Amino acid sequence: MKKEEKHKEPDRFSEETEKMISGTQIHWKKSRDEVWMELEKKIAIAPSAGKIILFRPWLKIAIAAGIALMVGISALINFYTKTINVPMGQHAEIYFPDNSRINLNAQSTLSYKPLLWKFSRSVKFEGEAYFDVMKGKQFEVFSGKGKTIVLGTTFNIYSRNIDYQVTCISGKVKVSGISGSQDVILNPGQQALLNTEGTLVIQSEIDTDQTLSWLNNKLSFTSVPLKKVFEEIGRQYGVLINIPEDLEYTYTGTFMKEGSVENVLNLVCRPFDLEITRKADNEYIITGNK
């Protein structure tokens, strides 16, 4: 290997420095031949039979298969999603791998990735549910109208149609509107809800027992538009209730779910002078008396 071989270098040293560098040598204590003598003694013992060929063709295939398998497994982990659909008239209780619990109200949908749970506690959710989240990493709930982030708390989310209400029962809860720009932090007893302009407002001193009354099969309404009351009754009993368009009343009242749907409908309808007609096994028509 010659020293004269030159490269096109934009940056050379002064002649003096170049001379010095090229005149620099390493003075080895052992010459190559001396090292060889030593090495020869060592290899006398080592076997020399048989050749090991690196990268046999099947090895390449095996490696390719291995990579494909790994990609497959990671895709599986990434895409494997568990979805829970709770139909009308039913409730459900779900436990996540870390023992966080969710109670789902009727007609709610929840999906999450169980294999990724350790790394990201993130669920998609529509409907109404009570969350009891174990302390740990960030827990995220994505709904159509907003996002709720907690570390380890209990809270209730109501996300149906245009409504999005998050009620904090214990700990701290962060709620973001769909735009993402607006964050609110809730303390126990506070509720965030989307107003008609689509911005999140906080309401304090919420009666959390009432918010969670559904957990005890209790239906509790405070100044709720009658239309929503019928929706909720239909949801809880799994029946279809047809109502007239022009129901402007609001309703306040509490009743247990034990009674039959007809009893409950009677309770609600009587004060407003509404009439109930049974159309089919699980279909009722409400008509106003004008």
Binding of another protein by 19 (CB under 8 A): yes
C-beta closer to another protein: residue 55 or 196: 55
Binding of another protein at residue 46 (CB under 8 A)? yes
Q: Assess 23 for contact with another protein (CB under 8 A).
A: yes
The b/e string for 163-197 (b: 16+ C-beta within 10 A; e otherwise) is ebbbbbbebbbbbbbbeeeeebebebbbbbbbeee
166 backbone dihedrals φ, ψ, rounded to 5°: -120, 125
| Contact status: 54 vs another protein (CB under 8 A) | yes
Q: Which residue has the tokens 């060592």?
A: 42
Please tell me whether residue 41 binds another protein under the rule CB under 8 A: no
Residue from 2, 57, 273, 281 that binds another protein (CB under 8 A)?
A: 2
Choose, by CB under 8 A, the member of 15, 48, 83, 204 that binds another protein. Answer: 48
* Shortest separation between residue 44's beta carbon and another protein, angstroms: 9
50 Cβ partners below 8 Å, 6+ apart?
none
Cβ(172)–Cβ(150) below 8 Å: yes
Stretch that binds another protein, among 20-28, 96-104, 107-115, 269-277 (CB under 8 A): 20-28
Contact call for residues 129 and 102 (beta carbons, < 8 A): yes
Instruction: Please say which residue, 27 or 290, places its beta carbon nearer to another protein.
Output: 27
Q: At a CB cut-off of 8 Å and minimum separation 6, what does 163 contact?
A: 145, 193, 194
Residue 45 beta carbon to another protein: minimum distance, rounded to whole angstroms: 10
Question: Backbone phi, then psi, for 67, in 5-degree steps?
Answer: -65, -45
34 or 93, CB closer to another protein? 34
Is 90 in contact with 125 (CB distance < 8 Å)?
Answer: no
First to last CA, the chain: 109
42 or 290, CB closer to another protein?
42
DSSP structure class, residue 122: E
Stretch that binds another protein, among 16-24, 123-131, 168-176, 231-239 (CB under 8 A): 16-24
CA geometry: angle 94, 99, 103, nearest 5 deg? 30
Among 15, 52, 223, 246, binds another protein (CB under 8 A): 52
Residue type, 22: S
From the CB of 5, what's the least distance to another protein, in Å? 5
Task: Decide if residue 53 touches another protein (CB under 8 A).
Answer: yes
Residues lying near another protein in the complex (CB under 8 A): 1-5, 7, 9-13, 16-17, 19-30, 32, 35-36, 38-39, 42-43, 46-54
